Structures are given as C-alpha cells and as structure tokens.
C-alpha cells in the first residue's frame, strides 16, 4: 500500500507522472541516455522546456506580453528578485503580512527600500486574511501571498491595485482559476503544486522591467533570463521535466477548471468533518479557509 505525505510540500505527484519520470531517469526518449545526463541545450531538452512553457500559458491563459520563466532559488529568491527588479532606488512597496512567507518577503524588500505593511494578521497568528486596506498609488508595487499553507488561509479575492501587483502563488497555482492579466508578476516554487523542488515558475509582464534606475546583478535580473529563454545558466532539468509531465497530466484531466472542482470537493469534505466533529477545532477564519 502506498504511504501518504500530508505535508504542505513537497506535493504528491500523480502515479503516471512518477512512472514516466522514473523511466526517463534511466532512458530518456529511447536514446539510451538518462534525462539527467543529456545537455540542457540539446534539442530533446529544449523541446521539454518549450512544452512546459506552452502548457503554463495554455492552462493559465497567459496573455501576450508576458514571459514565462523557469528559474532556481525557490520563492525565497523571488522575495529579493521582485524587489530588485521593481523597487526604485530609495523606493517603497506595499505588502500584506499574512504568514511566514510574506514576512520573509517583507524582510527582503526592506533590505532595498521601504516595505509598507498595509494589512497584518500576525495579531491572531495569521488565522485570517486582512481586508479593507487601500493600496497607495505612489508605491512601486504591491505584493501579496495568495495562500498560506502553515495557517490554512487563502485570498478569495484580490484587491483593486493602482500600481504593479505581484503575487506569490507557490501553494495554490494551478489549483484554481486566476486572471493573470490582473498581475504584473506571479511566482511559485514548483514543489507544492507542479513537481519536485529545484525549479521556480515566474510569469512576468515584459513592459514593467528595466525601470528601477538601479544596477541589478546579472543572475537577479529577469531580463537576463528572458533573453536566454531561462537558460542563461544550467536549468534544473529534472524538476522542469517533471513539472512539464504534471502540467500535461492536468491538461489531460481537463485543466484548471476541473481540478478546482476536485479541490473544492476535498476541502468541503475535510472542513465538514472538522466542523462536525468535537475532536477537532479549526483555526483559520471560515471565510478565509484554503
């Protein structure tokens, strides 16, 4: 019997994906070479990268004018990259503090400028999503975290934003429909919804870049990776391949709309038992439950 891991990450991958990935480690594309032995610039892997990017665009209906990147460093690296690419010298940005990951993102932003915290749920151990705040139009960008695995909270709606909007969707990307055009940057570590740790998905609106007036280190500049199709340095071949397989599985299942219904049914079942059974006590505010 297969054992189950109920941790927030790494995610549980479909059996079909695991079988394909394990076979590719031994013999990829019947070439008698392991996937992790082939050149990342070879035609077979370029095809993998191209397909992964195409699937992201298709499943999320990414508009024209956005680049899809597979980077490294996890969401934790994006905490700094976002600020470095969007915050002007001596600039400021607005954040909501909804959990451990948002707090870390705020810390990184404060290392480059000023992070203004508009909503903060730390007063109740992050068991709710702050609401009712107004995003100033004079900040360089607004940053939010869509889902908080540690606390079981999720943003059900996103606020009106008069400036650039950035969202860390690491733990709920591809789990529900999202209108990408509302955001200027979306980023997500692969390990919670796409594949194994090691790859980071970034969806960035091209026209917003290169306007900070600051010198950005080469590896931390989104334009570096856009110009090299996510291959400025050696990409994480295996995590990208498994992510591609998972996205293909999701497409074959029926896409984000179908998986959203499945996820809602699972959530209803779980929360129904938590609310019914006196042995359990829910901690997240009901209206903000993941």
Distance CA 185, CA 171 (A): 16
pLDDT tens digits, residue range 97-109? 999 999 999 999 9
User: Does residue 230 lie within any of the structural domains?
Assistant: yes
Residue 206 has pLDDT above 90, yes or no: yes
User: Does residue 89 lie within any of the structural domains?
Assistant: yes
Sign of the alpha-carbon torsion through 88, 90, 96, 97: positive
pLDDT tens digits, residue range 216-241? 999 999 999 999 999 999 999 999 99
The number of domains in the chain is 1
Q: pLDDT at position 49, please?
A: 97
| Average pLDDT for 178-193 | 96
Which of the residue ranges 30-34, 48-52, 179-183 would you say has the lowest mean pLDDT? Answer: 30-34
Instruction: Indicate the DSSP class of residue 54.
Output: H
Q: How confident is the model at residue 6 (pLDDT cuts 50, 70, 90)?
A: confident
Provide the β-strand partners of residue 205.
66
User: Does residue 217 lie within any of the structural domains?
Assistant: yes
Contact in structure between 35 and 43 (CB atoms under 8 Å): no
User: Does residue 175 lie within any of the structural domains?
Assistant: yes
Token pair of 180 as six digits: 């990408």
Q: pLDDT at position 59, please?
A: 98
Residue 7 has pLDDT above 90, yes or no: no
Instruction: Indicate the DSSP class of residue 284.
Output: S
Distance CA 67, CA 65 (A): 7
| Average pLDDT for 153-177 | 97
Provide the β-strand partners of residue 202.
69, 187
Domain that holds residue 130: 7-290
- Examine the residue annotation and report whether 249 is marked as an active-site residue of this protein: no
**Pick the catalytic residue: 101, 172, 184, 221?**
101
User: Does residue 249 lie within any of the structural domains?
Assistant: yes
Query: Which residues contact residue 160 at a Cβ distance below 8 angstroms, ignoring those fewer than 6 apart?
Result: 135
User: Does residue 126 lie within any of the structural domains?
Assistant: yes
Token pair of 32 as six digits: 């008698």
Q: How confident is the model at residue 9 (pLDDT cuts 50, 70, 90)?
A: confident
User: Does residue 104 lie within any of the structural domains?
Assistant: yes
Q: How much is the CA Rg of the chain, to the nearest whole Å?
A: 19
- Examine the residue annotation and report whether 168 is marked as an active-site residue of this protein: yes
Q: Of 261, 190, 241, which is closest to residue 10 (Cα–Cα)?
A: 190
| Average pLDDT for 129-139 | 97
Q: How confident is the model at residue 8 (pLDDT cuts 50, 70, 90)?
A: confident
- Examine the residue annotation and report whether 192 is marked as an active-site residue of this protein: yes
User: Does residue 1 lie within any of the structural domains?
Assistant: no
Residue 131 has pLDDT above 80, yes or no: yes
pTM of the model: 0.96
Query: Which residues contact residue 213 at a Cβ distance below 8 angstroms, ignoring those fewer than 6 apart?
Result: 88, 89
Question: Cis bond leading into 132, ω under 30°?
Answer: no
**Pick the catalytic residue: 192, 205, 221, 288?**
192
Q: pLDDT at position 3, please?
A: 81
**Pick the catalytic residue: 140, 168, 172, 184?**
168
CATH code of the domain in which 263 resides: 3.40.640.10
Mean pLDDT score of the chain = 95
């Amino acid at each position: 019997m297969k054992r189950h891991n109920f941790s927030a990450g790494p995610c549980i991958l479909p059996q079909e994906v695991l079988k394909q990935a394990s076979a590719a480690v031994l013999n990829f594309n019947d070439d008698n070479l392991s996937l992790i032995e082939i050149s990342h610039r070879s035609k077979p892997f370029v095809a993998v990268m191209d397909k992964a990017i195409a699937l992201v665009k298709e499943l999320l209906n990414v508009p024209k004018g956005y680049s899809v990147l597979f980077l490294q460093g996890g969401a934790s690296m994006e905490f700094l990259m976002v600020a470095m690419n969007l915050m002007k010298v001596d600039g400021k940005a607005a954040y909501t503090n909804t959990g451990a990951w948002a707090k870390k993102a705020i810390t990184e932003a404060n290392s480059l400028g000023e992070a203004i915290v508009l909503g903060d749920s730390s007063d109740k151990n992050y068991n709710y999503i702050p609401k009712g705040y107004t995003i100033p139009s004079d900040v360089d960008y607004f940053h939010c975290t869509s889902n908080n695995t540690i606390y079981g909270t999720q943003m059900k709606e996103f606020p009106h934003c008069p400036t650039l909007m950035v969202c860390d969707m690491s733990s709920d990307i591809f789990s529900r429909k999202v209108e990408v055009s509302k955001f200027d940057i979306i980023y997500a570590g692969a390990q919670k919804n796409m594949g194994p740790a090691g790859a980071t998905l970034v969806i960035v609106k091209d026209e917003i870049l290169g306007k900070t007036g600051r010198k950005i280190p080469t590896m931390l500049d989104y334009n570096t990776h856009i110009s090299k199709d996510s291959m400025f340095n050696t990409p994480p071949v295996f995590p990208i391949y498994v992510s591609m397989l998972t996205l293909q599985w999701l497409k074959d299942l029926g896409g984000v709309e179908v998986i959203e219904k499945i996820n809602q049914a699972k959530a209803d079942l779980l929360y129904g038992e938590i609310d019914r059974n006196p042995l359990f006590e829910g901690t997240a505010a009901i209206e903000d439950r993941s």
